[in-house]
Amino acid sequence: MKRTPRPDTLITHAGRTPGDYFGFVNPPVYQGSTVLFPDVAAYKRGDQRYRYGRRGSPTLEALENAISAMEGAAGTVLEPSGLSAIAVALLSCLSSGDNVLVVDTAYKPTRHFCDTILRRMGISTTYYDPLIGADIARLIDGNTRAIFLESPGSLTFEIQDVPAITAVARERGITTIMDNTWATSLYFRPLEHGVDLSLSAATKYIGGHSDIMLGTISADAEHWRALHETHGAMGQHVGPDVAYLGQRGLRTMAVRLRQHHASGLKVAGWLETRPEVERVLHPGLESFPGHALWKRDFTGASGLFSIVMQPGPQEAVAAFIDGLDYFGIGASWGGYESLAVPFDPTSSRTATRWNAAGPAIRLHIGLEDPDDLIADLESGLERWRQAGGGG
Ligand SMILES: *Cc1c(COP(=O)(O)O)cnc(C)c1O
């Protein structure tokens, strides 16, 4: 029997079956809707491996199988975006009349889906403090069917006690769903921490090059059937070119993430020494309140974190960011390039309160030389002060 491969080995080999493709290393891009059957009997039986483009192809399967291996999951479905992964995961376990507990620091469009589509379907959402831990038990009602987690929290990086929450959920027979986009399956394995459905915006680090939109949902054996059924009934499908780019990105994710981890920590540590910066929200820093939990459960950090500035005007934030040479201004992250965006989470929190005196900026540290990024940020802080920012 083969030894259990370590993560770097698994990510290089999982889902690859060159023998099926004349020895070519990567799966071909199967473009297809119709799949032909040899005769009427086979068509009627419908048990052929591939039956229709929407229901799967070797290109899609190669990525699904690789992700399942990385996640330790019974199965994985691909979705056209991270947000559609969130929607399908929630719909796979909720029905009219149910209640779902959603972490207050969830990605903002997750809240929007709950507050619009789920509400219209008669499903109520209760937002909870990301630091709630085992006290989540107090929020569980007779109709609570699912708990949605995202750790670290979007924009503000609170670390949840995932095992404490999933232990309560398992006791009560409640399904848990986790958005694991930030850590990826390399740095946090949700199913090993008791989560039932692990999802990811593969748009970010799996794609890794800012050139695709893609989502994944992986399930344990108990939840796989319901997930697969919901995914299929909703007609969810990812094109073969995108799936191909997803599996290509995946192969180098381990080396890319190591660099994001190291550069991110280096830049975060430097920012922490700057008087203009009031706080650095990076779980890998010892000063961060969630650091101990992060150290217990995660094996690394990716390149995304935030800073809270000393008090200062919005013009100073713009002067800081606009003049940066290597940081683009834009949504999404997880590509090879650095990004900087201002944010204010006040309007997307209801169970907790965001109280920072100064403005906040989210940074994605890409694969540039971190010393060039630090020099770039140093000039930015100079502009911040000249424009009236504190520090
Ligand atoms: C970007 C993001 C998503 C959504 O992914 P898309 O592919 O943009 O739809 C979901 N969750 C988190 C945490 C994200 O950062």
Using DSSP's 3-state secondary structure scheme, residue 161 falls into coil
Indicate if the pLDDT at residue 31 is higher than 80: yes
Atom 2 of ligand 1: nearest residue by CA position? 201
* Share of residues in the chain with pLDDT > 70 (%): 99
Which band of pLDDT confidence, cut at 50, 70 and 90, is reported for residue 4? Answer: confident
Question: What is the average per-residue pLDDT within 268-272?
Answer: 98
Read off the pLDDT of each residue in 243-260 and give the average, rounded to a whole number.
98
Is the distance from the beta carbon of residue 207 to the nearest atom of ligand 1 less than 6 Å? no
- Does the annotation count 54 as an active-site position? yes
Mean pLDDT (the chain) is: 97
Distance of CA 325 to the CA centre of its chain: 27
1: pLDDT strictly greater than 70:
no
Contacts of residue 64, Cβ cutoff 8 Å, sequence gap at least 6: 15, 75, 76, 77, 78, 216
Which tokens belong to 54?
């929407």
Active-site hit among 30, 107, 127, 128:
107
Is 181 close to ligand 1, i.e. is its CB under 6 Å away? yes
Q: What is the pLDDT of residues 156-192, one digit of tens each?
A: 999 999 999 999 999 999 999 999 999 999 999 999 9
338 lines ligand 1 (CB under 6 A): no
Per-residue pLDDT band at 303 (split at 50, 70, 90): very high
Does pTM surpass 0.95? yes
pLDDT digits (tens, 9 = 90+) for 215-251: 999 999 999 999 999 999 999 999 999 999 999 999 9
What does residue 336 show for φ and ψ, rounded to 5 degrees?
Answer: -80, -5
Going by pLDDT thresholds of 50, 70 and 90, the confidence category of residue 2 is: low
Identify the band that residue 302 occupies on the pLDDT scale cut at 50, 70 and 90. very high
Residue in 8, 45, 52, 54 annotated catalytic: 54
What is the percentage of the chain residues whose pLDDT exceeds 90? 98
Catalytic residue among 179, 196, 220, 376: 179
Sheet holding 215-219: strands in order across? 75-79, 215-219, 197-201, 175-179, 144-150, 99-103, 124-128
C-beta 154 within 6 A of ligand 1: yes
Q: What is the DSSP string of 301-326?
A: --SEEEEEESS--HHHHHHHHHT-SS
**Residue pLDDT, tens place only, 348-388:** 999 999 989 999 999 999 999 999 999 999 999 999 999 99
Mutate to test the pocket of ligand 1, among 181, 182, 343 (most ligand atoms within 8 A of CB): 181
pLDDT tens for each residue of 95-153: 999 999 999 999 999 999 999 999 999 999 999 999 999 999 999 999 999 999 999 99
How many other C-beta atoms can be found within 10 angstroms of the C-beta atom of residue 368?
17
> Quick one: average pLDDT of 196-224?
98
pLDDT level of residue 40 (50, 70, 90 thresholds): very high
Cα of 332 from ligand 1 centre, angstroms: 7
Element (H, E) at 61: helix 58-71
